[in-house]
Structure 1
Amino acid sequence: MTNFSQTQHIRKEVVWTEGGVVAAQHRTAAEVGAKVLADGGDAMDAAVATSFALGVVEPWMSGPMGGGMMTLWRAGESRAETIEFGMRSPAGLDLADYPLERDHAAGDLFPWTRVAGDRNIYGATAVAVPGTVAGMELAHSRYGTRDWADLLAPAIALAERGMLIDWYASLLIASATRQLARDSDAARMFLIDGQWPNISGWTAATEARLDQSVMARSLRRLAEAGPRDFYEGELAAALVADMQAKGSALSLADLAGYRARASAPRSFRYRDAMIHAPSGLSAGDDLRATLEQMEQAFRPTEAPSGDSYAALAAALSAAYRHRLAHAGDTGGHDEAPACTTTFSIVDRAGNMVNVTQTLLSIFGSHIVSPTTGMLMNNGIMWFDPEPGRPNSLAPDKGCLMNICPTIGQQGDRMFAIGASGGRKILPAVANLTSFMVDFGMSLEAAFHHPRIDLSNPDLAIADETLPASVQQALAATLPMRTARRTVHPYAFGVPAGVMRQGGRNCGATEIMTPWGDAVSETEVSDKR
């Protein structure tokens, strides 16, 4: 049974251009990055500007208080690289603060054994050491061509105005109202009287906006004092004071000792393509294992078939089983609100980057640092609270992330893709990579084509629009059920990508995201 229309079809237009393109989960942030490209900036300049802008217009997904990774391509050197800026547990974390309730499973993204009071999911005890600012610092120092302060200026201006609360923002805030109401600072920012989202009526003449003036001051300080201030200066002291007052183990030493890391990606051949998957504590190795098994399992024909989907399902299931046994990540829900954000950029010279950054859960730990005006991450939830496992919670330990920013090369085509959605990220990236490499799909065709999800290795989730023959092949491989591609919640990952071919570029975002869009530098130039 379903309440939804059976005749509605949703598409997004994909436009090719000789200029650079930014594809992001919020159009305003994509416009910020495209403006940087139009002004002569490098893809990395645009990435820094887009990253901070997203933290303002999509504050519950990512921001300076989160972490992530980027995989990049430098066209002049024909070289890929990963920059790792994942979160870490505080060195002073005390395992006694996370007592287990062994007869219960936790909620949210991972059904770990429940911690009493969900202290690893909500509140200050769920906060990990943030890495996004350090990641942008390292990327900018290696490849940036524009001044750091200039790249943060658009985010500051957006925060001073305050993000618009439209119907989609209201929906997301309403989904988290109970937890936000528990933190007075979060309630003050997002709710009215501690109960309802800050939203005007459907026919109101005035716009409803968040008050992000405190965030604007913090971003201005970050722009003027530089990125290390976040880890060693005034911002660091304010953040630690706020968090310790709410019960976090985060310390000044944790921040001062944090550094992002540049490393070689996991590069491997898949059929006639070269894939550059992320290094480190990511899903990069799982993507490699998935594609290697698929290459042996079927021969591509003209279009995806029951055989190709069944091979993809079996490979994803095997990759996740290996990850569960050896990396320690476990569990997952079939459907959840999308968390994390991802964006992809290509510039005129062919430099590319995909950045995937996150607070982990939507709204992170659901608490706000009052002095900085920003939502905090809940990176501690990435750890298994049960002791004695590869991913068990411990002090001063890197978080195992599901993110998978990826660069692909095939003939004269290149693409940069990533996705948000927790454990749905790997299946989304694997689906899209197969569509483009195995079947020669354009970026537009790949993003519109129905996908499957295997974030639970024991259950295949198939887009209900897939042909009966494909569904039958999947059901013969694994237990299967169908799901609709909707705005909320997301049954499948939420990707963003760019493609370059013949000196021309295009970009695309998940067709169901009402905010997501690809913006070319030509579009923002035409608006001047």
Structure 2
Amino acid sequence: MTSSLSRTQVTRKVVVETPHGVVASQHRLAAEAGAEVLKAGGDAVDAAVACSFVVGVLEPWMSGPAGGGAAVHWRADTGEATAINFGMRSPKGLRVEDFPLSGEGVAGDLFPWERVVEDRNVQGAKAIAVPGTVDGLGRAHERWGRMPWAELLAPAVEHARRGLLVDWYAALIIASTTRELAKDPDAAALFLEDGRWPTISGWTALAEKRLDQSRMADSLDALAQGGARSFYDGDLAATMARDVQDKGGYLSTDDLAGYRAWMGAARRVAYRDAAFHVMPGLTAGPTFARTMEVLERADLASPPDAFSAYAEALRTAYRERLGTMGDTGEVPEAPGCTTHFSVVDRDGNMVAHTQTLLSIFGSRVVSPSTGLLMNNGIMWFDPVQGRPNSLASNKACLMNVCPVVGETGPRRFAFGASGGRKIVSAVAQLSSFVADHGMTLDEAFHHPRIDVSGGPAVIADEALPADVLDRLAAEGPVKTTRRTVLPYAFACPAGVLREDGRNAGCTEIMSPWGDAVSEDR
């Protein structure tokens, strides 16, 4: 099929370079909120808290308080990397028998699981897992934060009071999931107009359409005043659990009260003359580590050699990931659509933070009392029993998130991405671009990539040189495509880099909202 996209359009993003702190986020206003915190004297962790809650308001279909994720924190004073796993868990009351296989083949969402009757593991209240994002942020803030918690949530409350502006991109995202959102009355009331996708702001200078996020604003305000644990132990927890159970889900106050994010040492991955600090346990950190282990033995001298090696390393790592990883119930190293942001402050502290609802719009269920869009973390589990990642109650989800802090020579960077199973491919290649090929942040983020994430074919950016594409095609099936605004054929990364006391930041060049912002902007 011939694409109708322009063949001459060129898209670039300016890389911010400054001695001051930088926040790189998939939404510019969230990056600005984090940068303002840095300007006020906050730590990178304070900026991460502010950025997290604002992006959850302004990009609610990707993440929010009712989701989960993971982060790697680098502390300049100690030279230590700490991992925080705030992944979701299946509720204690989940009944596996409620998820019978339909016999209709493979499900059509993010994972190649067998399809479940009525897609109950994908959409609806039964797909909701115990959220972890707020406790993960709370743990980080308790340890390293300088500014008051309530002050850090204030920008998110303000944005929610104003409501998300429905520009062309927001309208396009909502339109892509209109049928599913219409199935939940509260999701339909929040995102749709008379059951249809909303009117777009901006066709004329006078037009403006905003979502009514006032209930979310009230919840965030209560959370600001009550502290992070009030999300799990207070009235907010009780009303959220009741809403989910009223819609047929399992989430209980006991699930919420018992949730604790895991914090411990990041896994150090030695690689040639570089080192990477990644998540241990049930994340994509071990998959990244295995990718780099295979890649270290390869010859990357020429572009065809390098991309052939990337493809083979990623194929090897994904075969092992999909066949062996899961929460078996034993005590592991760590317990148990997405957004990523990275932060570096003027002292060199870094945060690589990934948070998610899993699918776009999560479970497509809104808690009416709290105004929060709920996750569909249950989809992370294989519905077929007897496998490492099989669905069960009170079990940690196997996440795709892959925040990384790397160091090579005088340079240190914090990378990560959104994009489900595509994340590891993007983060591994960006890390290699910097560590193996000495690319600047600008060069790395603008360089075309491939994606290998468990499927039979290599997905390759058609902008790659012809000899690279020919080499990949000689070794297996290849599909070429372009980097576009929607859909994303590749993951959507964001990153910061520090060298000789200067900081830089950049986001995916095709992300229309993403930007890196300096505190001295």
Q: Does 1:372 align with 2:376?
A: no
Cα distance in structure 1, aligned partners of 2:454 and 2:90: 26
1:127: which partner in 2? 128
Residues 20-419 of structure 1 mapped to structure 2, 5 A cutoff: 20-200=21-201, 202-203=203-204, 205-298=206-299, 300-301=300-301, 305-327=303-325, 339-419=337-417
1:199 Cα deviation after fit: 2.7
Assess if the C-alpha contact under 8 Å between 1:231 and 1:256 holds in 2. Answer: yes
Equivalences for 1:506-517 in 2 at 5 Å? 506-517=504-515
Q: What does 1:478-493 correspond to in 2, within 5 Å?
A: 478-493=476-491
Task: State the distance in 1 between where 2:177 and 2:238 align.
Answer: 29
SS of residue matched to 1:238: helix
Distance 2:82 2:474 in 1: 39
Query: Greater CA deviation, 450-459 or 359-368?
Result: 450-459
| Alpha-carbon shift at residue 195 of structure 1 (Å) | 1.7
Deviation at 1:328, TM superposition (A): 5.5
Structure 1 residue 204: deviation in Å?
5.8
Partners of 1:100 and 1:511 lie apart in 2 by 40
**Displacement of 1:201:** 6.5
* Cα contact 2:413–2:496 (8 A) shared by 1: yes
Alpha-carbon distance in structure 2 between the residues aligned to 1:285 and 1:90: 25
Aligned to 2:434: 436
* 1:35 partner amino acid: E
Per mean C-alpha deviation after superposition, the further-off stretch among 455-464 and 171-180 is: 455-464
Q: What code does the residue aligned with 1:212 have?
A: Q
Task: Please give the per-residue CA displacement for 1:331-377, whole angstroms capped at 9, x wherever unaligned.
Answer: xxxxxxxx200000000000000100000001000010000001000
Q: SS at the partner of 2:520?
A: helix
Tell whether the 8 Å contact from 1:327 to 1:391 is kept in structure 2 after alignment: yes
Deviations 1:407-462 (A, max 9, x none): 00011100000000000000000110110011000011000000000013421111
1:225 is displaced (CA, Å) by 1.2
CA contact (8 A) 1:316 1:457 kept: no
> Is this contact kept in 1: 2:82–2:265, CA < 8 A?
yes
Shift in alpha-carbon separation, 1:104–1:457, aligned structure 2, 3 A: closer
* Gap regions ≥5 residues in structure 1: 330-338, 524-528
The gaps in structure 2 that reach 5 residues or longer are 328-336
Deviations 1:243-280 (A, max 9, x none): 00000111111000000111111102111001111122
Q: Aligned equivalents of 2:500 and 2:371: distance in 1?
A: 45
Q: Are the structure 2 counterparts of residues 201 and 76 from structure 1 closer, same or farther at C-alpha, using a change threshold of 3 Å?
A: closer
Give the SS at the match of 2:452: strand
Q: Tell me, in whole angstroms, the C-alpha distance in 1 between the residues paired with 2:66 and 2:484.
A: 29
**Aligned with 2:228: secondary structure?**
coil
Q: CA deviation at 1:110?
A: 1.2
Query: Are positions 1:503 and 2:501 aligned together?
Result: yes
Q: Which amino acid aligns with 1:469?
A: D
Secondary structure at 1:297 match in 2: coil
CA contact (8 A) 2:342 2:495 kept: yes
* Count of residue correspondences: 511
Aligned counterparts of 1:294 and 1:392: Cα–Cα separation in 2: 30
Letter in 2 for 1:292: E
Task: Give deviations 1:28-52, integer Å, cap 9, x for gaps.
Answer: 0000000000000000000001000
Q: Which amino acid aligns with 1:439?
A: H
Cα distance between partner residues in 1 of 2:61 and 2:262: 25
State the Cα deviation string for residues 301-342 of structure 1 (Å, max 9, x = none): 4xx51000000100000000011110169xxxxxxxxx2000
SS of residue in 1 equivalent to 2:16: coil
TM-score by length of 2: 0.97
- Choose 286-295 or 24-33, whichever is displaced more: 286-295
Deviation of 1:103 (Å): 3.2
C-alpha change, 1:142 and 1:343, in structure 2 (3 Å) is: same
Answer whether contact 1:314 1:477 (CA < 8 A) is retained: no
Which amino acid letter does the alignment assign opposite residue 361 of structure 1?
Answer: S
Verify the 8 A CA contact 1:320 1:457 in the aligned structure 2. no
Alpha-carbon distance between aligned partners in 1 of 2:235 and 2:257, rounded to the nearest angstrom: 12
2:422 counterpart residue number: 424
Cα distance in 1, alignment partners of residues 144 and 442 from structure 2: 29
Contact 2:282 2:326 in 1 (8 A): no
The answer to whether the 8 A contact 1:318-1:457 is kept is: no
Q: Please say if residues 163 and 211 of structure 2, whose CA atoms lie closer than 8 Å, have aligned partners that are also in contact.
A: yes
| Residue type at the aligned position of 1:307 | D
TM-score by length of 1: 0.95
- 1:332 is matched with none
Which residue does 2:330 correspond to in 1? none
Query: Does structure 2 retain, via aligned residues, the 8 Å contact 1:328–1:384?
Result: no
Task: Name the amino acid aligned to 2:479.
Answer: R
Cα offset for 1:198?
Answer: 4.3
Matches of 1:481 and 1:174 in 2, distance apart?
Answer: 27
Q: Taking structure 1 as reference, are residues 72 and 201 closer, same or farther at Cα in structure 2, changes over 3 Å only?
A: closer
- Is this contact kept in 2: 1:190–1:198, CA < 8 A? no
2:331 is matched with none
Letter in 1 for 2:222: R
What is the rounded CA distance, in whole Å, between the counterparts of 1:382 and 1:113 in structure 2?
12
8 Å contact kept, 2:287–2:321: yes
Q: Offset of 1:476 from its aligned partner?
A: 2.2
Tell me, what secondary structure is at the counterpart of 2:13? Answer: coil
